[in-house]
Chain A
Amino acid sequence: MNNKDLQQARLFELLCDEVMFELTGQDSEELRQLREEFPHFGNDISFEKAAAVISLSNLDIQETLPHNLKARILQSADRYFETMVADVKTDHQTIPVGVTSSIEPLEPVRSSLMNWLGWGVAALACIALIANVWLTRSTPENNVVDVPKKVATPTPEPSLNEKKQQLLASASDVVKRDLTSPDKNEDLTGEFVWSNDKQEGYATFRGLPRLDADSETYQLWIFDEAQGEKTPINAGVFNINETGEITVPVDADLRVKKPIMFAVTVEKPGGVVVSKREKIVALAKLEA
Chain B
Amino acid sequence: MEQTILQRISSGDKSAVQDCLDNYGGLIWSLARRMLADQNEAEDAVQEIFIEIWKNAERFDETQSSETTFVAMIARRRLIDRLRKSSRKPIVDSFEDILVEPSDNRDKTIQTNIEAKEVAQIIRNLRPEQQKVLQLSIVQGLSHQEIADALKMPLGTVKTHARRGLMEVRESIEKDKKNIKKEVSA
Residues of A within 8 A of B (CB): 12-13, 16-17, 19-22, 45-66, 69-70, 72-74, 76-78, 80-81, 84-85, 88-89, 94-98, 102-103, 106, 253-255, 273-274
Contacts and interface: CB of A to CB of B under 8 A. Distances in A.
Nearest to A58: B105
Interface residues of B, number: 71
Given A52-B72, A73-B46, A97-B56, A60 B12 contact: no
Interface in B102-153: 103, 105, 108-113, 115-117, 119-120, 123, 134, 137-139, 143-144
B99 interface: no
B41 interface: no
Given A45-B64, A84-B55, A97-B59, 15 more contacts: A47-B166, A49-B64, A54-B166, A56-B69, A58-B103, A59-B31, A59-B34, A76-B47, A77-B54, A78-B14, A81-B14, A88-B54, A88-B55, A97-B56, A106-B51
Contacts of B36: none
A50 to B, nearest CB: 4
B174 A46 contact: yes
A56 B34 contact: no
B162 A21 contact: yes
A49 B55 contact: no
Given A76-B51, A85-B12, A97-B59, A17 B112 contact: no
A50 B113 CA distance: 13
A76 B48 CA distance: 9
Main SS class of interface, B? helix
Contacts of A98: 73, 77
A89 B9 CA distance: 12
26 contacts: A17-B162, A17-B163, A20-B162, A49-B173, A51-B76, A53-B72, A54-B119, A54-B138, A56-B115, A56-B116, A57-B111, A59-B34, A60-B110, A63-B29, A63-B33, A64-B25, A69-B46, A80-B51, A88-B55, A88-B58, A103-B78, A106-B52, A253-B22, A253-B26, A254-B22, A254-B23
A85 B50 CA distance: 14
A55 B43 contact: no
